[in-house]
Amino acid sequence: MSATSINDSLLISLRADPSSWADRVSYAPTDPSDPESDPHLTPRHVVLLSLHAHHHPTPVATDENLLLYLIDEETLYHQRADHYRSALSLAAYLLARLRRPEHLWAVWAARETNYDALKSVDSHYMYYAAGSIQGAREYVERSEAADIVGAAEKGRGREGWWKAVVEEDYEGDTNEAVKGIRKMVLERVAHDEKHGVTDEKVIAFVDDSWRSQTDRWAESLVPEEYVA
């Protein structure tokens, strides 16, 4: 499967009509107890692959809102699932390459969805988004609740994660939740630095040739009927 064989028709349609996103790529399982019953699972993967092909070598800033929407829906899916799909990492990777510090929280929320995601969605994406490890640290230190939730859809992945953190872990105290989540992320930053993560290694990780190949991501995500 080559990058050029990915069908771009859905991406073209979504770019033209943001109002169609909920109907075409949202997490919408037909059986609430079964995340796999989501009919938009494969379409989301196809769009992410199309975005990957279009975002190399240069990211397309005008796709920012679509990427935020897609990672939010993948986050919601993974909150309900007991496994990990590489689409979550692909969304984090594409978002990180826009180099916007505020996207750090979308990546963190994605990591927090389940155990497999925590081990698979690399923290390097947070540092790349923030421009550096120190940039990530400084952004987290000054973040407030509004920054953590950002522009996430109400009731969806990131906003739902934050609401659960506040209500379940901090008994509804938002201020304490902000302090607690800042501390948690900063501890992760310190852990990574202690174990040898540097800005140079972050750049090498994200810019690795493997991650720049749409075909490699496609191998685990797209069934044949979605190939042009």
| pLDDT tens, position by position, 10-34 | 999 999 999 999 999 999 999 999 9
User: What is the reported pLDDT for 155?
Assistant: 80
Q: Distance between CA atoms of 36 and 202, rounded to whole angstroms?
A: 33
pTM above 0.85, yes or no: yes
> Is omega for the bond preceding 18 within 30 degrees of 0, making it cis?
no
Token pair 């699972």 in the structure block, residue: 41
| Residue ranges for the chain with pLDDT beneath 70 | 1-6, 222-228
Give residue-wise pLDDT tens across range 152-189: 778 899 999 999 999 999 999 999 999 999 999 999 99
User: What is the reported pLDDT for 21?
Assistant: 97
User: What is the reported pLDDT for 154?
Assistant: 81
User: What is the reported pLDDT for 226?
Assistant: 45
Radius of gyration of the chain measured on its C-alpha atoms: 17
Q: Distance between CA atoms of 56 and 50, rounded to whole angstroms?
A: 11
Long-range contacts of 69-72, Cβ-Cβ distance < 8 Å, separation of 24 or more:
69/21, 69/25, 69/153, 70/25, 70/44, 71/95, 71/106, 71/107, 71/110, 71/157, 72/106, 72/152, 72/153, 72/156, 72/157, 72/158
Q: Where are the alpha helices (H) located in 55-198, listed in sequence order?
A: 64-80, 86-96, 104-111, 115-120, 124-130, 133-142, 145-149, 157-164, 174-194
User: What is the reported pLDDT for 123?
Assistant: 97
Token pair 């990058």 in the structure block, residue: 3
Q: Which of 190, 163, 161, 178 is nearest to 73 (CA)?
A: 161
